[in-house]
Amino acid sequence: MSSRAKQPKNWPSDILFINSQRFHSSVTATARAFVQGPPNQTKTHAADTLAKTPSAVVIRRITELSHPACGQFGLFASKKIPPRTYLIDYIGEIHCDDRPHSDYDISLHRFQDGVYIASDASTMGNEARFVNDYRGVRQKPNVEFRDRRTESGELRMSVWSLTEPVKKGEELVVSYGKAWWQARLACSEPEEEPEDIKVQC
């Protein structure tokens, strides 16, 4: 897909909208080849078909005062979403360097020699960068991150619904995981707790 697609409604002006992954100079030839992968010789995955249909997600500014991300943005269902359904890929800048201060960095793969590949959407990305953590929003997540290979063979992180349907208008929230919160706490004041911190993702 072209990386010059029309940006979605409510997209922030200071972030570059892209719908195909960009590669940072830190990505080695071996890592790039691993991400790009060989063409998928199996039957086209349902996710590739859904990726070509109108998006099931929309970006909205959060106005509820009780929401941990009030005043920021979130990702919402634009229609009813069935269980275990592919929603969107997490698109960002693929890199192999260390970015401890990015709140939009998702790991894609770690090699046995310690080299890791991640996708960072802090300065460029797509709608998936606005998926917030469920803490303070819902009792549990309603979507999850899951890696996949596209029809062309490219490795991507993607967003999928969980075991229950998602109603139209509901915010899509994941669990960032303990490692993410521990990393954020390392850069925060000692008195702050994970449940009280909300860094938009």
DSSP of 139-192, one letter per residue?
Answer: SS-SEEEEEEE-TT--EEEEEEE-SS-B-TTPBPEE---HHHHHHHHHTS-TT-
Whether the CB-CB separation of 173 and 57 falls below 8 Å is answered with: no
Strand partners for 94: 23, 119
Question: If pLDDT is split at 50, 70 and 90, which confidence band does 2 have?
Answer: very low
pLDDT score at 121: 97
Q: Which domains does the chain have, with CATH numbers?
A: 16-196 (2.170.270.10)
Q: How does pLDDT run across 159-186, given as a tens digit for each residue?
A: 999 999 999 999 999 998 765 445 555 5
Cα–Cα distance, 87 to 108 (Å, whole number):
18
| Global confidence as pTM | 0.83
pLDDT score at 189: 53
- For the segment 72-87, the average pLDDT, to the nearest whole number, is 96
| pLDDT at position 152 over 50 | yes
| pLDDT at position 108 over 80 | yes
Cα dihedral sign, 110-197-200-69: positive
